């Protein structure tokens, strides 16, 4: 008898935020390859369209939706759109959207502090709230948040980002406890990857060397190497894991 594929996402429907680029795009593609119908959302329409088109060209099921995660009405509309792909059910939300505004604390303006907290933390709240009513209660419901080493250990030059990502961990753990009664699991990943977000670090010789020295595996991952961990958390393989934070970062946080 063949072993059931516990990593399959066949019959599942996923909404991925910030899926026009980097890790979100790789996750959307990996979910589609695993059999899920995917709503590719991003604040920018053309990258979202490009990723959804690539998925359908490869034989997967995907549509796109323009979603700024700070916009509650847009989040409600995106959740309703995603649920149409799942026959009224939305199994998986990935709160991946992100942006940075680095500055040493003395120069960190309130606007930049609030903007980063708004996108990462309030945006994760907003999207979780929007999908709540569509999540199944049969043990296949998943909220997967994206945090960072910055949220686990702090960081220099991005107190806004570190605070937002630490908040995402608190949100993850609290939602995990609350939604367990509905058999929905809530976990977070803390990735590290070569994406547009980390381009400035990688392009700066000194900063790049300093960062690499902190990665025991001694290299940056491509987003495609990060995406399988998101498949794992979305799948039946992770059905008994909730409230956890998994660093996928070459050993940066040990
Ligand atoms: N790349 C890394 O090493 C790293 C490390 C730790 C955490 N992360 C986290 O991983 C996630 C993905 O980052 P990435 O590296 O792929 O970056 P990226 O810049 O490649 O992608 C981020 C995406 O989010 C979108 N976005 C920005 N603001 C948005 C908004 N208000 N609403 C909706 N979408 C919005 C962007 O348009 C972009 O497509 C982020 O949450 C980031 O903080 C990344």
| Best probe residue, ligand 1, of 25, 97, 203 (max atoms within 8 Å of C-beta) | 97
Residue 34 placed within a domain: yes
Query: Is it the case that residue 97 has pLDDT exceeding 70?
Result: yes
Query: Is it the case that residue 2 has pLDDT exceeding 80?
Result: no
The set of protein residues with a Cβ atom below 6 angstroms from ligand 1 is 17-18, 20-24, 42-44, 47, 67-70, 96-99, 119, 146, 148, 191-193, 195-198
The mean pLDDT of 85-105, rounded to a whole number, is 98
Phi, psi of 54 (to 5 degrees): -60, -40
Question: Rounded to the nearest whole angstrom, what is the distance from the C-alpha of residue 223 to the centroid of ligand 1?
Answer: 11
| Best probe residue, ligand 1, of 19, 23, 93, 214 (max atoms within 8 Å of C-beta) | 23
Active-site residue identified among 31, 125, 161, 240: 161
Residue 230 placed within a domain: yes
Whether 125 is a known active-site residue: answer no
Query: What distance in Å separates the CA atoms of residue 18 and residue 28, rounded to the nearest whole number?
Result: 10
Total domain count for the chain?
A: 1
What confidence score (pLDDT) does residue 1 get? 64
Query: Is it the case that residue 17 has pLDDT exceeding 70?
Result: yes
Residue 8 placed within a domain: no
Of all residues in the chain, what percent carry a pLDDT higher than 70? Answer: 99
**pLDDT digits over 22-55, tens only?**
999 999 999 999 999 999 999 999 999 999 999 9
**Counting beta carbons within 10 angstroms of the beta carbon of residue 197, is it exposed (0 to 12), middle (13 to 18) or buried (19 or more)?**
middle
pLDDT band at 108 (very low <50, low <70, confident <90, very high): very high
Question: Rounded to the nearest whole angstrom, what is the distance from the C-alpha of residue 3 to the centroid of ligand 1?
Answer: 36
Task: Give helix 159-179 / helix 123-131 axis angle, nearest 10°.
Answer: 20
Index of the ligand 1 atom closest to the CA of residue 69: 32
Residue 252 placed within a domain: no
Residue 232 placed within a domain: yes
**Counting beta carbons within 10 angstroms of the beta carbon of residue 218, is it exposed (0 to 12), middle (13 to 18) or buried (19 or more)?**
exposed
Residue 153 placed within a domain: yes
Residue 41 placed within a domain: yes
Q: What is the CATH number of the domain that holds 99?
A: 3.40.50.720
**pLDDT digits over 146-175, tens only?**
999 999 999 999 999 999 999 999 999 999
pLDDT band at 4 (very low <50, low <70, confident <90, very high): confident
Tell me if the pTM is above 0.85.
yes
**pLDDT digits over 176-223, tens only?**
999 999 999 999 999 999 999 999 999 999 999 999 999 999 999 999
Domain that holds residue 130: 13-246
Residue 1 placed within a domain: no
């Amino acid at each position: 008898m063949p072993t059931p594929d516990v990593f399959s996402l066949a019959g599942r429907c996923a909404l991925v935020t910030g899926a026009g680029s980097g890790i979100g795009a790789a996750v959307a593609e990996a979910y589609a390859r695993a059999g899920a119908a995917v709503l590719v959302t991003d604040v920018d329409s053309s990258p979202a369209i490009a990723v959804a088109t690539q998925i359908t060209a490869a034989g997967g099921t995907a549509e796109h939706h323009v979603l700024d995660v700070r916009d509650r009405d847009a989040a409600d509309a995106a959740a309703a759109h995603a649920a149409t792909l799942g026959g009224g059910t939305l199994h998986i939300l990935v709160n991946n959207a992100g942006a940075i505004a680095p500055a040493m604390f003395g120069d960190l303006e309130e606007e930049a502090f609030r903007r980063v907290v708004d996108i990462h933390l309030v945006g994760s709240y907003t999207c979780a709230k929007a999908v709540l009513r569509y999540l199944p209660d049969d043990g296949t419901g998943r909220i997967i948040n994206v945090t960072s080493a910055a949220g686990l250990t702090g960081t220099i030059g991005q107190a806004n980002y570190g605070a937002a990502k630490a908040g995402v961990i608190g949100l993850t753990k609290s939602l995990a406890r609350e939604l367990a009664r509905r058999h929905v699991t809530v976990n977070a990943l803390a990735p590290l990857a070569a994406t547009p977000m980390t381009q400035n670090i990688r392009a700066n010789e000194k900063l790049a060397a300093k960062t690499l020295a902190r990665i025991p595996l001694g290299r940056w991952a491509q987003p495609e190497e990060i995406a399988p961990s998101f498949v794992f958390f979305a799948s039946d393989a992770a059905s008994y894991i909730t409230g956890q934070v998994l660093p996928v970062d070459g050993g940066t946080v040990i």
